[in-house]
């Protein structure tokens, strides 16, 4: 085939090197030399493009067939050049999009551009959506506890109570039933433990005056706190999704994401980053990130735990960005992310979806041009290349920082940098890097606020860290909303203390409980009206203080009155 290509291109056959290399020759049975030639992708593409449209007709005096050459392979019937190009294009698109029949809307672009060193102006998209907290949903909130209750609402508390009692009855444990007051006191005590730290939670109930906290012991006893900690549950163990590694805590994750989206309209400028939750035990989803402050634990970035094939051809980091900004498509938002997520095809895709994006990028990413070497740049100098709407920068600070943007121009500005002697020096840099530094710290700040007085509750159960981590993030979000809507901002410690006080007041006062939390744990519609008598062979469950649930119900292999009685009729 290569011999025919050479004839049609009017090229001389190359000299034949050793057969051990990728291009060589070997002796055929009749003593003639057989050509062995291997091409890479780029060489094959150049070779195919150089074939004339009438390659079926020989361009020299040699005949089309060579009967004396046993290795001669005739070319197939010629195809029009346009048909060949179309087929090559379709093949390239199919390779990018994955299997046939996938959603072409979410297909990964090829990322192929012609880069040039030319100036480019910044392009800002129109933005007319609301930003910040949804004020009408916080109209009745005045204290920190009320703001937190808006996020951690009645439905979450009800589910915790129901699933905890269900778990106790399933395990047939002789533990008194868990009430709303127990759960509220449990949450309030864990908030206290976040800012009043002792070596072990048992010390809070110790009688020694140097470590004891009488206020906590007046709320719950140590045994009761330990019982709730051992039995608290979010999901039914008998209905877990085996394909979802976060199935035990999935209802709380889904509810938290729903609350965050409902109560707060995202700002124009967004940032995407990883967040770590500390965990040192054994778990298949635990990760090790040596460059993070929390090196071992669970990595959170808001993506669903199940495998998602929606974003065809995208890698892990690219898919995370697409998943998180999907609700921002067409809104004119600006999104910033670091080099773990960034790539040229991702920038093209977000540009098609009318999302402005900017982020640092690794210089060896596919599709990027070559810039000046680091040794040729002085501090404050930068090199750039542009292609269509993309701008790629390499700026020398202490080392070269690479940034790719789909809406920034090539204009530059000045920033202050601290020298070794402590003085501040003004250096020039691209505007894209200055905007990135100004808008990229949101996730890191949220992590900082969570770590200050977080619920650092140790447990052997792998999902407890995520459970308390989600509650911490609800506290931080409610703190941010409080400071935005109230006239006077307060410190985070004071906010947590006030929230704790509200929860413990609710725990001890039935009248205040009904006023502030509501009466959501009232009568659930039941399909059956019978009640089994309590015997030693029956493990019973009851809501002590509920108005319509003062009944004893059994739950075992033969009798499941508890589930039947407490089913909520959604009709």
**In the 3-class helix/strand/coil scheme, how is 66-78 assigned residue by residue?**
CCCCCCCCCCCCC
Return the biggest CA–CA distance within the chain. 107
Has residue 163 got a pLDDT over 80? yes
Residue 495, helix vs strand vs coil: helix
Residue 330, helix vs strand vs coil: coil
CA torsion through residues 186, 187, 188, 192, sign: positive
CA dihedral defined by 45, 46, 48, 50, rounded to 10 degrees? 160
Q: What is the pLDDT of residues 213-269, one digit of tens each?
A: 888 888 899 999 999 999 999 999 998 998 888 899 999 999 999 999 899 988 888
HSE of 425, CA atoms in CB hemisphere, 13 A: 11
Which residues are bridge partners to 296 per DSSP? 288
Has residue 5 got a pLDDT over 70? no
Both tokens assigned to 483: 């400071």
CB 133 within 8 A of CB 481: yes
Q: Quick one: angle between helices 144-151 and 464-485, nearest 10?
A: 130
The pLDDT value recorded for residue 303 is 33
Both tokens assigned to 153: 């609402």
Has residue 505 got a pLDDT over 80? no
H helix or E strand, kind and range, residue 23: strand 23-27
> What contacts 233, CB < 8 A, 6 or more positions away?
160, 163, 164, 166, 167, 248
Query: Quick count: other Cβ atoms within 10 Å of Cβ 494?
Result: 11
Residue 382, helix vs strand vs coil: strand
Percent of the chain scored above 70 by pLDDT?
Answer: 68
Angle at 418 between CA 417 and CA 420, to 5 degrees: 135
The structure tokens 């951690």 sit at 152
Q: Poorest-confidence range of 16-30, 216-230, 295-309, 316-330?
A: 16-30
How many H-runs (helices) and E-runs (strands) does the chain carry? 17, 17
Closest among 151, 121, 171 to 261, alpha carbons compared: 151
The pLDDT value recorded for residue 105 is 67
Has residue 150 got a pLDDT over 90? yes
Query: Quick count: other Cβ atoms within 10 Å of Cβ 466?
Result: 23
Q: Where are the alpha helices (DSSP H) in 325-423?
A: 344-352
Closest among 471, 475, 467, 474 to 298, alpha carbons compared: 467
Has residue 273 got a pLDDT over 80? yes
Percent of the chain scored above 90 by pLDDT?
Answer: 31
Confidence of residue 445 (pLDDT cuts 50, 70, 90): confident
CB 269 within 8 A of CB 439: yes
Gap between the Cα atoms of 135 and 71, Å rounded: 80
Gap between the Cα atoms of 154 and 180, Å rounded: 10
SS3 string of 128-163? Answer: CCCCEECHHHHCCCCCHHHHHHHHCCHHHHHHHHHH
Q: Where are the alpha helices (DSSP H) in 172-277?
A: 180-195, 214-217, 222-231, 250-263
What average pLDDT does this structure show over 314-336?
87
CB 302 within 8 A of CB 326: no
Both tokens assigned to 17: 């090197």
Q: Is 474 exposed, middle or buried (0-12, 13-18, 19+ CB in 10 A)?
A: buried
The structure tokens 């202490």 sit at 398
Local structure of residue 369 (DSSP, 8 states): P
CA dihedral defined by 483, 489, 492, 498, rounded to 10 degrees? -90
What average pLDDT does this structure show over 299-320?
64
How far apart, in Å, are the Cα atoms of 286 and each of 5, 327, 425, 463?
Answer: 55, 28, 43, 11
Average model confidence (pLDDT) across the chain: 75
């Amino acid at each position: 085939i290569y011999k025919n290509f050479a004839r049609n291109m009017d090229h001389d056959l190359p000299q034949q090197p050793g057969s051990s290399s990728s291009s060589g020759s070997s002796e055929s049975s009749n003593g003639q030399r057989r050509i062995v030639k291997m091409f890479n992708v780029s060489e094959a593409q150049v070779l195919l493009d150089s074939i004339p449209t009438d390659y079926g007709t020989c361009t020299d005096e040699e005949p089309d067939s060579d009967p004396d050459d046993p290795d001669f392979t005739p070319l197939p019937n010629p195809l029009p050049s346009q048909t060949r190009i179309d087929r090559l294009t379709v093949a390239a698109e199919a390779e990018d999009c994955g299997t046939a029949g996938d959603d072409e809307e979410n297909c990964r672009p090829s990322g192929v551009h012609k880069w040039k060193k030319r100036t480019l102006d910044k392009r800002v998209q129109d933005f007319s959506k609301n930003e910040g907290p949804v004020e009408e949903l916080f109209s009745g909130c005045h204290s920190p506890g009320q703001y937190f209750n808006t996020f951690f609402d009645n439905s979450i508390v009800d589910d915790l109570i129901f699933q905890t009692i269900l778990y106790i009855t399933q395990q047939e444990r002789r533990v008194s039933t868990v009430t709303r007051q127990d759960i509220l006191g449990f949450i309030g005590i864990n908030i206290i433990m976040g800012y009043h730290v002792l070596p072990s939670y048992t010390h809070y109930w110790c009688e020694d005056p140097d470590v004891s906290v009488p206020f906590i012991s007046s709320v719950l006893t140590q045994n009761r706190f330990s019982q709730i900690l051992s039995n608290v549950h979010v999901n039914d163990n008998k209905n877990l999704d085996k394909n979802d590694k976060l199935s035990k805590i999935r209802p709380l994750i889904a509810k938290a994401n729903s609350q965050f989206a409902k109560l707060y309209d995202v700002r124009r400028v967004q940032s995407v980053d990883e967040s770590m939750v500390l965990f040192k035990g054994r778990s298949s989803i635990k990760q090790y990130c040596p460059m993070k402050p929390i090196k071992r634990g669970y990595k959170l970035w808001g993506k669903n735990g199940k495998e998602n094939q929606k974003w065809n051809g995208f890698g892990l980091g690219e898919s995370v960005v697409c998943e998180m900004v999907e609700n921002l498509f067409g809104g004119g938002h600006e999104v910033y992310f670091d080099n773990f997520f960034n790539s040229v095809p991702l920038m093209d895709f977000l540009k098609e979806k009318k999302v402005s994006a900017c982020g640092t990028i690794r210089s060896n990413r596919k599709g990027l041009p070559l810039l000046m070497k680091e040794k040729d740049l002085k501090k404050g100098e930068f090199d750039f290349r542009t292609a269509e709407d993309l701008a790629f920068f390499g700026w020398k600070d202490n080392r070269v920082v690479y940034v790719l943007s789909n809406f920034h121009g090539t204009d530059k500005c000045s920033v202050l940098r601290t020298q070794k002697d402590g003085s501040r020096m003004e250096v020039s840099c691209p505007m894209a890097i200055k905007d990135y530094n100004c808008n990229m710290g949101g996730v890191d700040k949220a992590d900082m606020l969570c770590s200050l007085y977080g619920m650092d509750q140790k447990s052997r159960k792998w999902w407890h860290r995520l459970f308390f981590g989600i509650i911490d993030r609800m506290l931080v979000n409610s703190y941010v909303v409080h400071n935005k809507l109230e006239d006077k901002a307060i410190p985070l410690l004071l906010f947590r203390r006030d929230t704790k006080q509200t929860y413990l007041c609710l725990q001890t006062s039935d009248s205040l409980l009904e006023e502030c939390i509501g009466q959501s744990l009232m009568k659930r519609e039941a399909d059956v009206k019978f009640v089994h008598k309590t015997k030693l062979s029956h493990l019973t469950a009851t809501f002590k203080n509920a108005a319509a649930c003062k009944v004893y119900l059994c739950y075992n292999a033969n009798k499941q009155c508890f589930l039947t009685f407490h089913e909520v009729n959604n009709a």
